[in-house]
Amino acid sequence: MAKKRPVKRKRRLTKRTRKHPLERAFDQISAWRDSCFIDTVGQRLIVYLIALLVFAVPLAIWEGSTEYGYVKSILVLVSISALLILWALLGGRKRSWEIRLPWVTLPFALLVGAILLSLINAINMRVVLQSLALVISFFLFYLLVVNFIEKERDIKLILSVLLFSAVIASAYGLVQYLGILPGPPGARGLGALISTMGNRNFLGGFLSYLFLPAFILLLRARYIVSKIITLSAIVFVFYTILFVQQTGIRVGLIAATAVLVGVIFIWRTAGLLLTRKRILTTAAAILLFIYLFAAPTSPFNAVIGLGSDGTPLSPVVQFFRNQWERNAGRVRAWNWWVGWEMFRNSPVFGVGLGNYKLNFLPYKAQFLATERGEQFDFPIPRAAQAHNEIVQITAELGVVGLLATLAAMGTIIFTFVKRLSLQKDAQRRLDLLLLGCGITAFFVHSLVSFPLRLPASSLVLVLAVGLAGSLFYGKVGEWKVSVHGWPRRILISSVIAFSLFICVVSARDFRADLYLNRGIHAFHMGHFHLAYHDLQRSHALDFAPRQTYFHLAMVQLQLGRHEEAKESLKHCLTRFVSEEVFINLANVAVNLGDIETARKSVDLLLASEPFPDLKWEARFLEAAITLREGDTEHALASLERLRAENPGFIRTHFFLGEIYRIQRRYDEARKSFNQAITLIERQITSTQHQLATATEITVRRFGQLQRRIVSLTEQKEAVQAALETLPPVTGG
């Protein structure tokens, strides 16, 4: 028995220390959680989500939204916020959250400070904050790329999905050109080629920034099939770049190619090109053939005098094409000089990020009053962008913002050159050169366009800079920050809170945009009460409502709520500043007796040199205001002069008839009223004919024609009623 006791004790001890199966399962889960497996899966998941975002943004469109770029912006904001939350959760699993911060982080912080300082002069602060959210989101996306793209397969994955997305966008645009898929209603040929970007210039710019970096895939391809597929995609993109026929895009691409050729020998990459001479020679031959013979704007077609559709260009057509090109250049110059006027008035902090479009008309009138402005004797509509990023940044952010921007660009260039100098691998040096050439094409094109304001174009820039700064190309030009303890918890909480806030605001804004589009559609269909309801919902959800106020005012006018319409139009003066706002505000103000508001609106509109239709309307309202102020003779002289210059303007005849009736000049009054009725009947007939014969018509155009018929009919009834008040014609 003494020998068995130790055995029993041992068995009892073993039985006590044995764990329950659930306990063992929880221990295994804890060990799995504490291992690096989840971190690895999380990192790969973020890389794949980055690739998905890169693929989706260029192709993102949504039926029911007001504008292609708006949908892309919302997608960028929400997707980057989700990626940040996932990154923060991964950082929360460790005792310290290690983040790679490139040197450009410091000048970017200065740029954010400059943007906040631009609030001082901004006429709409919410537009500044809305734009700032996009700027910060793109920078955070840049940090995601820098911190998570580490291997060659990641580089190839990102560039492959971006190139695939570009091919789809190009194909979509070309089938629109051929009429297989619809483009903008009523558009034909190149006018229909808008793809998923909303404009052929936007599409061509996006493709040109990607073209040279895409050669990284070609040079790194290992199998003949992948080489053929990649080369085919590059050739197709190149053909589309030429097909969209945008000079600024081609100039940017030529400049980038020249930079590539010029520096390729400095960083010892020529030898690598010789090892790839077969594929590169094939690519060069195909691209040269397309440039010389196949593209619509090729030198061969230019020599034989063919247009993009193969038809000969007559001297008259060529003359007008040259005139169009010259006038387009003058329009760009006009926009730049208006930006200069903004800078002169607010040189230190600017007029506010995103506020260029809100200040354009007042500063346009200010510029036209100068000696240089007198040379621009042709009307140009309101410009939402300056078509030159340096000009617009200077106008919106002043000297402080310009210096911060130049510091950021200088830091990127310095870091880029340093990486090239220290990189020993020839293939990676060539990769960096190709990425740098994509950035070069972007900045050259930005001198005549606004790619920084376009989400898809900005995405390519951020990707090129981010990939060049990734771990795959070395640890150069960066700080490695380790955050632990309470600072780590605060940082994680802040990132998650900021991301959730952006997601909520973006979702509300997107719903507001859908309501806005529904309201506009209902307005054009004549359902004014439904339009009013939808626009009110849009206004309630939108963080910074702009166009909503204008469309709400148009609905309120149709519903007879003139005072409310006037207030909505006054809100537009700091949110959506356009010629239509001023002409409608002046019209409503005259009818309500608010002469001061009407006078200010008409004076600014006339000083901004509007298009003829608006100019006639503004001059008529100017005469009406003069009459309301009691100067009958001056008003009468203005109206008679206006009638002599434009006999087809109906309101002049009606208003002159009213003045003649008050002055008891009945024969002249009767003559004016009869002329007004004749013109009204003629325009009613013409408008009805347009409606009856239209084979393809937009909802907007349909609504305009319908409202015009209603308005003309009401005018005719008013003229007939005034005509009946005149005494009968006496005999003899």
- 505-526 burial, b at 16+ Cβ within 10 Å, e below that, comes to bbeebbebbbbbbbbbbbbbee
Q: What pLDDT, on the 0 to 100 scale, is given for residue 514?
A: 94
Q: Report the distance separating Cα 211 and Cα 451, nearest Å.
A: 16
Q: What is the mean pLDDT of the chain?
A: 85
CATH architecture of 642-732: Alpha Horseshoe (1.25)
Tens digits of residue pLDDT in 336-373: 988 999 999 999 999 999 999 999 999 998 888 888 87
Name 644's Cβ contacts closer than 8 Å, sequence gap at least 6.
none
DSSP state of 293: I
Among the residues of 423-485, which ranges form H helices? 426-445, 455-468
Q: pTM value?
A: 0.87
Q: What pLDDT, on the 0 to 100 scale, is given for residue 117?
A: 96
**Is-contact 212 438, C-beta < 8 A?**
yes
| Pair of tokens at residue 130 | 């809305």
Q: Report the distance separating Cα 504 and Cα 501, nearest Å.
A: 5
Q: What percent of the chain has pLDDT over 70?
A: 87
Tens digits of residue pLDDT in 453-507: 999 999 999 999 999 999 999 888 889 888 888 888 899 999 999 999 999 999 9
Domain ranges of the chain: 95-484, 642-732
The end-to-end CA distance of the chain, in Å, is 154
Q: Report the distance separating Cα 380 and Cα 334, nearest Å.
A: 8
495, amino acid identity: V
| Cα 699 to Cα 70, 253, 451, 702, distances in angstroms | 21, 39, 30, 5
Instruction: Give the three-class secondary structure for 385.
Output: coil
Name 540's Cβ contacts closer than 8 Å, sequence gap at least 6.
512
| Cα 278 to Cα 170, 237, 428, distances in angstroms | 27, 21, 20
Q: What pLDDT, on the 0 to 100 scale, is given for residue 211?
A: 94
Tens digits of residue pLDDT in 177-215: 888 888 777 777 888 888 899 889 999 999 999 999 999
Q: What pLDDT, on the 0 to 100 scale, is given for residue 30?
A: 52
288 pLDDT higher than 90: no
272 pLDDT higher than 90: no
